[in-house]
Structure 1
Amino acid sequence: MRAPLMNRYSMKFSALVGVAATVAVLVSGCGTDPDEDTVVAPAGTVAFDLSPAQSGRVHTAKVDAIAAEVPRSIRDRGTLVVTGASGTAPPLRFYATDDKTVVGSEIDFATLIADILGLKLEATVADWTQNFVRVDSGEVDAFISNVTVTEERKEKYDFATYRTDNVALEIPKDSTLDYRDRKSLAGKRIGVGTGTNQEQLLVKWNEQNAADKLPAIDIAYFDKTSDYYLALASHRLDGYIGPNPTAIYHAATADQTKIVATFSGAGEALQGEIGVLTKKDNGLIGAVHKAIDHAIRSGTYQQVIDRWGLKTETVTSSRINPPGLPKKS
């Protein structure tokens, strides 16, 4: 079942205060003290484990019937090789306090899938666009890194969904930008990640604004979240559109920005979904899909959701290749 659509595009910031409060944090410096590897929310609502050890990571048992559906070449190897964007986007995928171990919710979801399939997870990193190349070449088995289902991607890849895709408009804390709809961004400089569905969303809005004879949105492209954080803090951007969980985490921890709207990453007509991406028809997606559904039914999926404060991103079941973000015009 898909989550209900957002009302129009936006949800005003006042409606997000409760969500942000659940992840408001006190950030400790990095170090060897275990307490310095944890970011704690008020009243213990959420405790983000930033340590490389990840002692609280959720694990589960192998399910033989599902594991038997994994292609023999992967079963014989004994590992599930997963790629993802370089780790700079907490709580989804980011570097731990040792600055080299990639952790986060996307690693935890990949771990659950690997456990159920009876495989050892091998998590790797690459630049966003390079991840698709690695899947194409067979260097990796899956791309698990907040990847949105799109109609264009479905032509080359298979998806098994595990989260909804909601994005947020994050602006400087002292900004007076009054977001109502896409027209509010006309003439503004808005950042997005290179090659993301957020970029496609802004391009579509620019086309619609042009039809309404409004100034264009000045789209600024970023490969690293740390770069757009600096641009927002220095007011070189009027706003940034990125994954909702990352925006909530950043707004709460840095105390330099605020969220003024959230919307489906697929636009107003469709609730976007995040999925595990594999090479099309390579025989793996069916097993991955069943592994996700098993995790949902067993409760281990919810444990990962709760561990990383993703309660607004849950799905009740996995879907293979559902309707995705429309193709570019």
Structure 2
Amino acid sequence: MSLPSSFRSTYVFSRRTLAAALATLAAAGLLTACGTGDAATDEVAPKGGKGTGINLGPDQHRIREQKVDAIAAELPAGVRDRGTLSVGVATGSVPPLSFYATDDKTPIGVELDIATLVADTLGVKPQFQPVSWENLFVGLDSGKFDGVFSNVTVTEERKDKYDFATYRKDQLAFEAKKGSGWKVGGPQDVAGRTVAVSSGTNQEKILLDWSEQNVKAGRKPVSIKYFQTATDYYLALQSGRIDAYLGPNPSAAYHVASAGQTEIVGTYSGGGAGLQGEIAATTKKGSGLVAAYAAALDHVIQDGSYAKVLARWGLSAEAVPRSEINPRGLPRVAK
């Protein structure tokens, strides 16, 4: 996501704030840890939940692919001969995108899993390079990175300098207490409701617009609430002080899967009305890599490994049917 200017989404989780939130939930008896007790196999799952939970350990047992020679042949000769793919990922991001495992040094997450599938299909070894958000683009510009897999949204402005091969929808989500029986599909569904949102984010802008539309239509406005931390949002949900929290779908889906006390009651494009935002593998414009990325992504989408990765992190709702090269992006920001 990480949209420019007023379209920027702020994620409420970091590795440590996630740990604090989960610790609070565990203390309240809402969360249990599974596994052998070894830090390398740490997992989180809802109390009494079925299955193995979400693996947060450094040994990820990632889903892997086989090399496809015809697709690997689309790589530029220099990359193919080198045998490695330098991949930029953002540090300090949010579960389940790219974050650190329980050893606090191994990067894990859905973005790394998808990049691994692509690299396997291309017959090269991924070399992950965790950097700050702004340095992802510095690395692309300098040629340090062959690509970035780090929740980058396609925008018209970014297309001036970079090529894109899409692999996930850019989605926001309304998260409510489990069993609410409530579904959100548009402004009318939040009229008179109390919804929390992070200040200065794209989702706040959308919620304010919806509230204004409700008032103009003679419906009640939205009561918008703001909290300081992820823990505060989730405790407010459990106590009934808010009806829902509107935030990025990946963090909401992760919380639903790990805590088991909430549910997603509606999703909405991060691009707003009339445009489905798209998350994409990003490479320097004209590098010759984007066609290989798109072909590899199409292959893993078709053979099912892509779906398994998304399901592993609770992001099946963000699946795309195919990878598109440089699709319509979020509009330019007026200067």
CA distance in 2, matches of 1:300, 1:88: 24
Give 1:312-323 correspondences, 5 Å limit.
312-323=317-328
Given candidates 21, 29, 33, the residue that maps to 1:28 is: 33
Matched with 1:125 is 130
Residues 266-323 of structure 1, C-alpha deviation per residue, up to 9 Å, x if partnerless?
1121222211111111110000000001111222212212222222111111111112
Paired residue total: 290
Matched with 2:59 is 53
CA distance in 1, matches of 2:195, 2:135: 30
CA contact (8 A) 1:31 1:97 kept: no
CA distance in 1, matches of 2:191, 2:332: 24
State yes or no: 1:165 paired with 2:173: no
Shift of the 38–207 alpha-carbon distance from structure 1 to 2, 3 Å rule, reads closer
What is the aligned-residue identity percentage? 45
CA distance in 1, matches of 2:165, 2:152: 11
CA distance in 2, matches of 1:249, 1:39: 10
Given candidates 187, 190, 209, the residue that maps to 1:181 is: 187
State yes or no: 1:76 paired with 2:77: no
CA contact (8 A) 1:47 1:307 kept: no
State yes or no: 1:326 paired with 2:327: no
* Residue aligned with 1:114, SS: helix
Given candidates 88, 107, 117, the residue that maps to 2:112 is: 107
Give 1:1-329 correspondences, 5 Å limit.
26-28=31-33, 33=38, 37-40=42-45, 42-44=49-51, 47-55=53-61, 57-169=62-174, 181=187, 190-191=197-198, 199-200=201-202, 202-203=204-205, 228-230=229-231, 232=233, 241-251=246-256, 253=258, 261-329=266-334
CA distance in 1, matches of 2:161, 2:246: 26
Give TM-score scaled by structure 1 length.
0.72
CA contact (8 A) 2:203 2:247 kept: no
| Structure 1 position 160, deviation (Å) | 0.6
Residues 101-136 of structure 1, C-alpha deviation per residue, up to 9 Å, x if partnerless?
111111110000011111111112222222222212
AA aligned to 1:54 is Q
CA contact (8 A) 2:39 2:103 kept: no
AA aligned to 2:310 is I
Shift of the 35–71 alpha-carbon distance from structure 1 to 2, 3 Å rule, reads closer
Shift of the 58–305 alpha-carbon distance from structure 1 to 2, 3 Å rule, reads same
Shift of the 188–328 alpha-carbon distance from structure 1 to 2, 3 Å rule, reads farther
AA aligned to 2:328 is P
CA contact (8 A) 1:172 1:232 kept: no
Shift of the 292–327 alpha-carbon distance from structure 1 to 2, 3 Å rule, reads same
Give TM-score scaled by structure 2 length.
0.71
CA contact (8 A) 2:297 2:323 kept: yes
CA distance in 2, matches of 1:234, 1:300: 36
CA contact (8 A) 2:34 2:44 kept: no
Shift of the 172–40 alpha-carbon distance from structure 1 to 2, 3 Å rule, reads closer
CA contact (8 A) 1:85 1:131 kept: yes
Shift of the 35–154 alpha-carbon distance from structure 1 to 2, 3 Å rule, reads closer
CA distance in 1, matches of 2:84, 2:225: 40
* Residue aligned with 2:90, SS: coil
RMSD: 3.8
CA distance in 2, matches of 1:299, 1:210: 42
Shift of the 124–220 alpha-carbon distance from structure 1 to 2, 3 Å rule, reads farther
| Structure 1 position 91, deviation (Å) | 2.0
For structure 1, the residue ranges without an aligned partner over 5 or more in a row are: 1-24, 222-226
CA distance in 1, matches of 2:224, 2:130: 30
For structure 2, the residue ranges without an aligned partner over 5 or more in a row are: 1-29, 237-241
* Residue aligned with 1:125, SS: strand
CA distance in 2, matches of 1:188, 1:328: 27
Shift of the 189–168 alpha-carbon distance from structure 1 to 2, 3 Å rule, reads closer
- Of stretches 317-326 and 238-247 in structure 1, the one that deviates more from structure 2 is 238-247
| Structure 1 position 30, deviation (Å) | 9.8
CA contact (8 A) 1:201 1:266 kept: no
